[in-house]
Amino acid sequence: MALLDGRPDPEAEGQIRAYFESMIGEVNSLVVSHESLLGFAGLVAGEASQQFYAKAVSRARLLARCLDGWNIQLILYTRRQDSFLESVYLEGFREEYILGTFQAFFENVDTQQLNWFTLIREIEQAMPKGQITVRPFESISEGSRPFAEKFFKLFVKTDGMDFGGIKSHRRGLSMPAYRLLQGARIRLGGRQTLVRKVLQRAMTNRWLPSAIFLNDRQRADLLFAHRLDNQSLFQEYMPEYPPDFYS
């Protein structure tokens, strides 16, 4: 679709603006959240482009055009490169569009592309007045309630808002469950999705070891290669965190 590739389409852009206007109604703030809003990571063989978030900048420009005159704030969450790679693989494995091993996936990834600093700087340049905020996904370790509260504080007053009922319900696939699925994948056939859902509930990483694929050397090499980029990322966009937060 030309519009999603960043090429101007006044009619479609007008429809998008009208859609947002219909949602916002009389409220002061509208939150739109979607992990693929800026496209796909481009790390999986077969994706349209295996460039790291190849469509992110053009999508940011599209948002800026469609919502011209609005006070836009783009909030992005980064993730440390090693755990990001493992997460992309595991998501693909769960959703059954990655069928091979992690090592086969890893060997086809250009890890030099995993540069959050360069990507975010380019996105910022595409937005009006640099309306961009960056946070580390790892801050979820503080708990679901403070994570949500800090998010909303970026654009609204949270006085009087009740965050007490917020809980995390996402169950990750544990390493034992992953190994069972990987070993039985051929024999399971069409039952794989059902079995995976059962295992994800019964063998969750809440009480079993999480699925971890990189060895210590691979992890260290990856983080060393991006040490300067990561330091610049935190110094420029997240100064409240230490510059070696992703070391």
Phi, psi of 62 (to 5 degrees): -60, -45
Mind listing the pLDDT tens digit of every residue in the chain (247 residues)? 455 555 668 888 889 889 888 888 778 788 888 878 888 888 876 555 568 999 999 988 888 888 888 888 899 999 999 999 999 999 888 887 887 899 999 998 999 999 999 999 999 998 877 689 999 999 988 888 888 888 988 888 888 888 777 666 566 788 888 888 777 765 666 666 777 677 777 777 778 888 899 999 999 999 999 999 999 999 999 999 999 999 8
Closest to 134 measured CA to CA, from 150, 149, 145? 150
Tell me how far CA of residue 48 lies from CA of 2, 14, 115, 118, 236, in angstroms: 14, 26, 20, 21, 31
Range 184-194 burial, b when 16+ CB lie within 10 A, else e? eeeeeeeeeee
Amino acid residing at 41: A
Contacts 24+ apart (CB under 8 A), 46-50: 46/97, 50/110
Amino acid residing at 115: N
Look up residue 228 and give its two tokens: 């300067």
